[in-house]
A = this chain, B = another copy of it.
Amino acid sequence: RINGKRLWDALMELAQIGATEKGGVKRLALTDLDRQGRDLVVGWGKAAGMSITIDRIGNVFMRREGTNHALPPVMTGSHIDTQPTGGKFDGNYGVLAGLEVVRTLNDHGIRTEAPIEVAFWTNEEGSRFVPVMMGSGVFCGAFTLEHAYAAKDTEGRTVGEELERIGYKGEQVPGDHPIGAYFETHIEQGPVLEDADKVIGVVPAVMGLSWYDCTVTGMEAHAGPTPMHLRRDAMQAAARIIPEVVAIANRYPPYGRGTVGMMQVFPNSRNVIPGQVKFSIDLRNVNEQLLNTMHEEIVAFVDRTAAETGLKIELERVSYYPPCPFHPDVVGAVRSATAKLGYPTMDVVSGAGHDAIYAARLAPSGMIFVPCKDGISHNEIEDAKPEHLEAGCNVLLHAMLECARV
């Protein structure tokens, strides 16, 4: 069994870096705060006897050797970057649960056949730079290193420059790193486990995701003298599309999701009719065919709105990954560890994307969910119970041991 208090203390210490007034964390990818967080975790890894490898996209692998050097590592991990108004657990829990597994093995002097690795992947959140899940995406070849390096934040700084600046542009070629199996523990980031009063979510699959930037171009003009029928009001066209995003999601239950989370208005002055409005669209489903249908419906609706309003409306798909079913062996290992430990459990489809979906392209992968308070995540008030975090980490320990063999 792992040490729940030590796990909790590590979480709280890491959460100091970028701590916000409301009790959350703001530690955006590749900022100085991200560097501080990385340095802290790497320091802990070294103190636990692990060797460190960093690849060219800044993914960090901390390795505890096994007895059989021919075996690829059994890996666990997640990310330590956060949302702008993020919490203490999203991502961080998965990394520090891995560290706690290693510390526990050290405490008991347990040697595994396969090496154990704890990874943290660069820029999982995608808040500062798209694509989201950048580090694991480059690692598995979902997109190129050059594409990732060129990504810019709103102030024009690139991933390549920022990696260099914070000292985490490593040597290893991304993906040039065998993996035997990959586990990721994570808070659920939704309300399902809490609602059902379960402690462990076994994750059979992750929903696919389709992200868009929608840009409506009208004509800015003075809000007073311009008659209603002569306007080319970009805000009004955007306001037609926004409810349709939800309507599309509602047509494909129970796993349809639709969100408009981001908007920019130009020139954003109260007495000027907006000349341009840009907003994001996020569509998800666990069924690939339904996700494709949702895609076709938003494309058609945007085209229809452009035709009806006479405005130019561009819809650019900026991210896509298909639904990801996890590997039966890894899901099975999680299921049997949970049963052995006797935790109340259920299956939970992940609505959030995780680095595990990219790891799953290279190795058998699976995830372990624990409840979070009120299902809230990507929020400074994100919270989780120490005993749930401990339970998830115990499941991780036993599932990894099953794969890595003692």
Contact = CB atoms under 8 A, between A and B. Distances in A.
A114 to B, nearest CB: 31
B230 A235 contact: no
Interface stretch (A58-66, A73-81, A374-382): A374-382
Interface in A234-279: 235-236, 239-240, 242-243, 246, 249-250, 253-254, 256-263, 265-275
Interface stretch (A35-43, A44-52, A160-168, A349-357): A349-357
A257 B223 contact: yes
A214 to B, nearest CB: 11
A145 to B, nearest CB: 23
Contacts of A189: 222, 224-225
A259 B250 CA distance: 29
A123 interface: no
A270 B236 contact: no
A316 to B, nearest CB: 13
A89 interface: no
Contacts of A378: 220-223, 267, 269, 271-272
B272 A268 contact: no
Interface in A273-289: 273-275, 280, 282, 284
Contact of A249 (B126, B195, B228, B249): B228
B351 A225 contact: yes
A189 B273 CA distance: 12
B261 A268 contact: yes
A227 B317 CA distance: 23
Contacts of A209: 224
Interface of chain A: mostly helix, strand, loop or mixed: loop
A189 B190 CA distance: 50
Interface in A336-381: 350-353, 375-379
Contacts of A233: 246, 259
Nearest to A188: B225
A375 B231 CA distance: 11
A207 interface: yes
A85 to B, nearest CB: 4
A282 B270 contact: yes
B263 A272 contact: no
A207 to B, nearest CB: 6
Interface in A173-202: 188-192, 195
Contact of A261 (B126, B132, B235, B239): B235
A91 interface: no
Interface of A: 83-85, 126-127, 132, 188-192, 195, 207, 209, 211, 219-228, 230, 233, 235-236, 239-240, 242-243, 246, 249-250, 253-254, 256-263, 265-275, 280, 282, 284, 350-353, 375-379
State the 7 A-B residue pairs at the shortest beta-carbon distance, nearest first: A190-B225, A224-B351, A225-B351, A270-B280, A223-B259, A239-B242, A224-B352
16 contacts: A84-B269, A85-B272, A220-B378, A222-B351, A223-B284, A223-B351, A224-B257, A225-B351, A227-B257, A228-B258, A240-B243, A261-B273, A261-B274, A271-B282, A272-B379, A275-B379
